[in-house]
Structure 1
Amino acid sequence: MTLPPELKDAAANPVELTVRELLGLFSERNRDPEIVGRIEAELRESELVCVPALLNGHLHSPVVVRTLDAEEEPAADAPEQAPPAALCVGDLPTARLPEGGLVCLAPSDSLEHARFVMLENFFSQLPVMSGPYMLHGVVSWQSIALAHLRGRCETLTDATEPAPEVGIKAELLITIHDIARHGCVFVRDTDQKVTGLVTAADLSLEFGNLTGPFLQLGEIERRLRRCVELMCPTTMDLRQASGYNRANSPEDLMFGQIVQVFKKPDRWERLNWGLPHSGFVGKLDDVRGIRNQVAHFRPSPLTPEERQRVDIFAGLIKSLMP
């Protein structure tokens, strides 16, 4: 890990950015203790420091990378801080859109204009605002239909309903009910500025990002256990190869113990796959590391590169063990 070029002059000119942006400069997307340790070590080597500490706040929280003062050198026995345990609304990308990214209507706009903007952008709803802090309500296809049923649907006001709101630091889990009930919630930052919205579609996408790899890795693990059955036909074989003396079947093994079985050359030969042993075990160990991150429900989704590695290995093991 080397210091990103964006931070080369941070000692003379402090760099202000968010936690997410700082992680991105180091090609990372989550705050595992190991990752944070590597980033902080690289900053200290260049006599820089992240203020507040990288583990504080949420992914959208602001930090400053600047020169490291002598009195700020962390003590060796300083207690380790943990990142927030719960996913927050602000952890979703659409909760904090870039400047001008939130498409909205003005109270003076016509209902025809609202229909056109929603059709043009494939939107289900639009906020009605008179500034970044003043949210008058929301217009949706449902609110327009209800206005027609009520017998009055001529102006934008006729189809405008109260807009559900939520704070950017609200826990995502307890907000899901409101999103499902209203179809979306609008997000206010700590300064009360409306910064974005979270829709049911956003939740579905996030659910897929988080659970898709979990399900795929489960399929990989089940196929690997079938391989272990072939490599270890007896209980004694299984215990010796895995190092787990209480194992009675492959189902009793942890993922790491499965890897240990594959590392044994004599067990590997039983599969008769005609593949390089070290190459396969290397790919398997790589997947093990990714699997451990997913199994511990880290708050950030896998990177595209990690997803690709899982996809490739899933296809490989499926072809070998249908």
Structure 2
Amino acid sequence: MAPKPKSFTELAAAVGDGTVVHLTARDLLRMVGAQRRGIHVVGQIRSQLDRHSLKTEPDFAEVNADLKIEVLRNPEHPPPHVELLTQAAERLRAEPPTPMRVTPRTILGWFGAKRRGSDITESVDAALAGFELETDPDFRSVHLDQPVDLVGRGSTSEDASGLDDPGDASSESVGREESGATAQQADTQTAPNDSAGEPTKAKSSQAPTANNTFHIGTLDEARRDVVHVKPQSSLRVALSQMIAKQVSHLPIMRNPRSVTGMLRWKDVGRYLLLNGNVSLDDPVERAQAPAIEVRYSRPFLNVIPEIIKHGYVLVRGPKNVITGIVTKKDLGRQLLDLASPFVLLGEIERGLRALIENGDFTVQELRDIALDPKSPREIENIASLTLGEYQRLLSHPDAWDRIDLNIDKSTFVAQLSGVRNVRNGVMHFHPDGANDDDRKQLSRFLELIYDLQRFG
């Protein structure tokens, strides 16, 4: 009797001659060093199976962990990302190894996605793990268009390793706050129980980004050209730059990694007022204030107090380079972008409730029509319904007739379904936020509700 394959490579070789290999789901778990079928582990095993053109019958994720299953060749074309990740893995095995450089936006496109929602980032990370890959820096903590390298799992290094120019090794930041350079702590995520016993801990690839945290580095402002001047520049040059470029904060920098201070209008005013003999030809460093920096991987919410206190933060990105500046004005815009979908959704729900009230439904009718028969939820009135339950209610022909709306039912319900999809992304706090198309979709549906209320 042939020994059990101990890796997916051995498993693929055993199946290669047309043989059907009998294993258990637990055997597959051992191959990835896991004991329980958490979401991430299942995704990692699926990625390994796709990578080697294998499949299991029945599905390993849907049977008892100790039940015998068949592993056989999968004749179907693998998902698009499989070939690309295979190429990335092969490039790392070459001599010399050459990591594939892509952007998070490109990676998401391999999986048919545009934003980094919690579900898609989990799927991407599991697929990467199946190829023993990860991104450096983590694709979840940088801007969508910031290049990242596909490298071997566990081989990522600190960003400071980007100090490859000896002249930059003494990178200075007079006012850098310790909180902005806090060491990244290890993180774990608990996989759901497989059958019995305690859940196991699955080590994430990069601690601060194992969850779907909204990082300061994902903002557009964290990746833009930073207007700056040299320390020896004159106040005349600095002020001319601020006026010409219409900026209120001007970093004083020796090079992209070395920041010596920050010039703000109030710093200039203080210098001119409190120093007796001054000239616009004085070096700018005489009027500078300490520069405030944060790492690109800092959670956005944790950085807000610093932006409010200092009026800005400089963002130090991958390879230790200053990649952007986020000001109070930017903060206001970002908070508005985050809040506006919630406001629109709130108005939509209020409008839907007003329309449904025209049907004069009893609580029991709402329960019978709107609730999923398998749902244990209890509702007390129309306000207790979710958007999904609104859709279920409005899809019912009798309920639709009672509400008596002068619009085609299928058209209205289809639009509501789209709103639900946007709502799910908003409520799960996609780090890339709601895009313009999402806001337009919400606005159009809200305008439709207003029209129905006005002319109904």
Conserved 8 A contact 1:241-1:260 = yes
Does structure 1 residue 32 correspond to structure 2 residue 118? yes
**Taking structure 1 as reference, are residues 63 and 32 closer, same or farther at Cα in structure 2, changes over 3 Å only?**
farther
Structure 2 CA distance for partners of 1:40 and 1:85, relative to 1, 3 Å: closer
1:52 aligns with 2:134: yes
The alignment status of 1:117 with 2:241, answered yes or no, reads yes
Could you say which residue in structure 1 is the equivalent of 2:176? none
Q: Residue 291 of structure 1: SS of its match in structure 2?
A: helix
Q: Map 1:106-255; keep pairs closer than 5 Å.
A: 106-152=230-276, 153-154=278-279, 155=282, 156-189=284-317, 191-243=319-371, 246-255=378-387
TM-score w.r.t. structure 1 length? 0.81
Counterpart CA distance in 2 for 1:106 and 1:27 is 42
Q: Which residue of 1 aligns with 2:215?
A: 88
Q: Is the 8 A contact 1:232 1:238 kept in 2?
A: no
SS in 1 for 2:272: helix
Distance 1:197 1:55, change over 3 A: closer
Decide whether the 8 Å contact of 1:49 with 1:65 is kept in 2: no
State the structure with more CA Rg.
Answer: 2
Match of 2:435 among 287, 303, 307: 303
Q: Deviations over 1:44-70 (max 9, x none)?
A: 9xxx9582179966342824299xxxx
Cα–Cα, structure 1 residues 143 and 35, in superposed 2: closer, same or farther, change >3 Å? closer
C-alpha change, 1:184 and 1:53, in structure 2 (3 Å) is: closer
- Secondary structure of 2:320's match? coil
8 Å contact from structure 1 (residues 241, 264) kept in 2: yes
Percent identity over the alignment is 29
CA contact (8 A) 1:124 1:140 kept: yes
Note the residue ranges of structure 2 that are not aligned, 5 or more in a row: 1-77, 92-98, 153-193, 195-199
Query: Aligned AA for 2:434?
Result: L
Pick which of 293-302 and 206-215 moved more. Answer: 293-302
Q: Is the 8 A contact 1:31 1:55 kept in 2?
A: no
Q: Distance in 2 between matches of 1:31 and 1:206?
A: 18
The one-letter code of the counterpart of 2:414 is G
Deviation at 1:197, TM superposition (A): 1.6
1:318 maps to 450
- Unaligned runs of at least 5 residues, structure 1: 67-76
Q: What is the aligned counterpart of 1:19 among 85, 92, 104? A: 104
Cross-structure match for 2:43: none
Which residues of 2 match residues 71-86 of structure 1 at below 5 A? 83-86=210-213
| CA root-mean-square deviation | 3.4
- Secondary structure of the equivalent of 2:358? helix
Measured after TM superposition, the shift of residue 211 of structure 1 is: 1.3
The equivalent residue for 1:104 is 228
CA–CA separation in structure 2 for the residues paired with 1:122 and 1:52: 40
- The 2-side partners of 1:319 and 1:282 are apart by 17
Residue 115 of structure 1, CA deviation:
1.6
**How far 1:272 moved relative to its partner?**
2.6
- Counterpart Cα distance in 2 of 1:142 and 1:236: 65
SS at match of 2:251: strand
Once the two structures are superposed, residues 284-306 of structure 1 have per-residue CA deviations (whole angstroms, 9 ceiling, x without a partner) of 01111111221222222123322
Separation of aligned partners in 2, 1:218 and 1:56: 34
